[in-house]
Amino acid sequence: MSVQDKKNAIIAQLRENGCRITSQRKLLIDIILQDECSSCKEIYYKAVKKDAAIGLATVYRMVKTLEEAGFIHRKNMYRIDMNEAIA
């Protein structure tokens, strides 16, 4: 599954769960898909370079949303795992 396919699947699932898909949320999904991040702060530092208006709370909320949807697990430290999320 390509990165774009993973992103589309995540966005579709989040929409099904009633989440609005903003440009900042898309940016955070891109960062998490492209890089192996070890913390929310690391994701934040990468995101703020691309969008200075993004807040740390936005990052924490998005990570929590992805975790609740089954895309992120603490054991793999903010790397999206499509196999477990789709199963």
What residue segments make up the domains of the chain, in order of their start? 3-86
* Predicted pLDDT at 21: 93
pLDDT digits (tens, 9 = 90+) for 23-41: 999 999 999 988 777 788 9
Torsion (CA) 50, 45, 43, 39 in degrees, nearest 10: 180
One-letter amino acid identity for 49? Answer: K
| pTM of the predicted model as reported, rounded to 2 decimal places | 0.80
CATH code assigned to 3-86 = 1.10.10.10
Section 70-85 average pLDDT? 64
> Which two structure tokens, joined as six digits, stand for 52?
């200075």
Checking 12-17 for CB contacts under 8 A at 24+ apart, the result is 13/69, 13/71, 13/85, 14/65, 14/69, 17/65, 17/69
* Predicted pLDDT at 77: 56
